[in-house]
Structure 1
Amino acid sequence: MESQRKSILITAVVLGVLIIGAGVLYWWYYMRPPAPAPVVEPPKVQEPSPPPPPAEPKPAEEKEPAPEPAVTLPAIDQSDDFVKQTIKGLSPHGKIADWMKIKNLIRVITAAVDNIARGESPRAHLGFLFYGQVFSVGEKGGKLYLHPKSYGRYDLLADAFVSLNTGRTVQAYQKLKPLFQEAYRELGYPEKDFHATLIQAI
């Protein structure tokens, strides 16, 4: 089912690119206005050059703004409060603040990203996202099926994700990036880049 969904998405993207490309080519060959005929200008009579204008006084040099002070990051073992303060205001969604109450946030998120990038389930690290929600199945005709209520568990995640302010979220990630890299080294990747693994996971 998942492979079929991906195949449909890829096909839609390819079709979209082909349609746009065909439209551009059609406009280029058939719809663009013809090039104007070259205009022959009569020879110009050279006039004496005017005297050079007086030199203007040099404007006062503007002082460059002082660079912003570098952010001093806490040790990773004491980073939870710093992380919560950094991500504060990224979203009006109240549930995000509840999710951020767990300990060792940087390490938990880093481990989950590593799992996803390696094709493994991050469930062991992200169980707090579904805390208090019941995973239920139904039975029909002797066969088990996923109860519709179980799908609703992901609606909350989707709503929270959509509510994030993209610009502020990127800024927060850039600020916390060294902590993620440190946690990634702790997992046994001293030479690998966490950001590359994050892109792979996405």
Structure 2
Amino acid sequence: MQSRSPSAASRWPWLVVVLVVAGAGWWLFRQNLQGIGDGAAPAPQAGAQAQPVLPSAPPAPEAPAIAHPIDTSASADAAAPALPALADSDAPAWEALAQAAGNDGALGLLLREHLIQRIVVMVDNLTLPSLTRNAMAVKPVDGSLQVQESDAGMVIAPANPQRYAPYVQAFTHADAEALVGAYKRFYPLFQQAYAELGKPNGYFNDRLVEVIDHLLNAPAPAAPVAVEPDGKGHFRYTDPSLESLSVGQKALVRLGLEQEAAVKTQLKAIRTALTRM
């Protein structure tokens, strides 16, 4: 069996997916020019200067319709403390997630500093071809991608999914309703973090649902999955259709079939909870 260092796309980002929200907004600008009538324009008065016809100012950008709104006012708990500022939210958000997950250890894979902002950035980037370390909200998976030679060439080794077991277990064993409840309470901060990414008209919960749907569409190829060196000390999928997947879908494909099925089951439960609010 051979092992090599994984690419950035192979780092596992699953526990975080459950806590986040989505809504990629689009802008619609309309430029209405002031029309000129068919008849001749009246002559300017003597000594008066003709005023040029200027284009009208474009209207303000239209906010996209919200598909999956979250009513945070209806869920406010009178006994719960007021939300902190986003810059001061790390400790309260961690405590709320620990309660929802059932224990602090399940969150040991998360990076605590700037937790909400990291989650928002990572979720928003899961549909891209790759992720940088700065866009991660979880710690990189230990070890290297495990591969082995076969009659068909180099493939991902059957033992490789064990590297992801702590991430998969933490994600799939969490109570989806409790996690979404904690997320809903802190939603104004998630939305603020999303707006600060340069998407003031985007709705983060819509974006989260969009990303979940994207992940659920990841293929589940039968093992063994063929890989090949990429010339940079990493591996890439031999099948072009797999190599062209997003970083999020590639991570799912890298799991074992049972792990991928379990993650997708949990994603569906989370989606249901997110869209029922």
What band does the TM-score fall into relative to the shorter chain?
A: 0.5 to 0.7
1:163 paired to 2:159: no
CA shift digits 1:74-109 (9 cap, x unpaired):
222221101111112223466423123431111111
Distance verdict in 2 for CA 1:82–1:187, change over 3 Å: same
Secondary structure in 1 aligned to 2:99?
Answer: coil
Say whether 1:83 aligns with 2:96: no
- Higher-helix-fraction structure: 1
Matched, 1:179 2:189: yes
Shift of 1:119: 4.0
CA distance in 1, matches of 2:171, 2:107: 13
Amino acid in structure 1 at the alignment position of 2:122: A
**Which of the residues 119, 136, 152 maps onto 2:162?**
152
The answer on whether the counterparts of 2:124 and 2:211 sit within 8 Å (CA) in structure 1 is yes
Alpha-carbon spacing, 1:158–1:132, altered in 2? closer, same or farther (3 Å): closer
Structure 1 residue 188 and structure 2 residue 198: aligned? Answer: yes
> TM-score with structure 2 length normalisation?
0.43
Cα distance in 1, alignment partners of residues 170 and 105 from structure 2: 7
User: 2:73 corresponds to which residue?
Assistant: none
Structure 2: how far apart are the matches of 1:78 and 1:152? 36
How many residue pairs were aligned? 135
Change beyond 3 A, Cα 1:106–1:149: same
> Higher relative contact order at CA 8 Å, sep ≥6: structure 1 or structure 2?
2
Q: Is the 8 A contact 1:92 1:163 kept in 2?
A: no
Contact kept, 8 Å, 2:194 with 2:204, in 1: the verdict is yes
- Contact in 2 for aligned 1:107/1:183 (Cα 8 Å): yes
Matched ranges for 1:89-108 at <5 A = 89-92=99-102, 95-108=105-118
Percent identity of the aligned residues?
A: 27
Larger Rg: 1
1:150-198 Cα deviation digits (max 9, x unpaired): 2222332221122212222121011111111111111110111000000
Deviation at residue 112 of structure 1 after TM alignment: 1.2
Q: Which residue does 2:120 correspond to in 1?
A: 110
Change (3 A) 1:150 1:173: same
Give the distance between the partners of 2:104 and 2:81, measured in 1 at CA: 27
**Cα distance in 2, alignment partners of residues 109 and 177 from structure 1:** 12
RMSD of aligned Cα (Å): 2.6
Question: Structure 2: where are the runs of 5+ without partners?
Answer: 1-76, 213-277
Of stretches 71-80 and 140-149 in structure 1, the one that deviates more from structure 2 is 140-149
- TM-score when scaled to structure 1? 0.57
> 2:155 aligns to what SS in structure 1?
strand
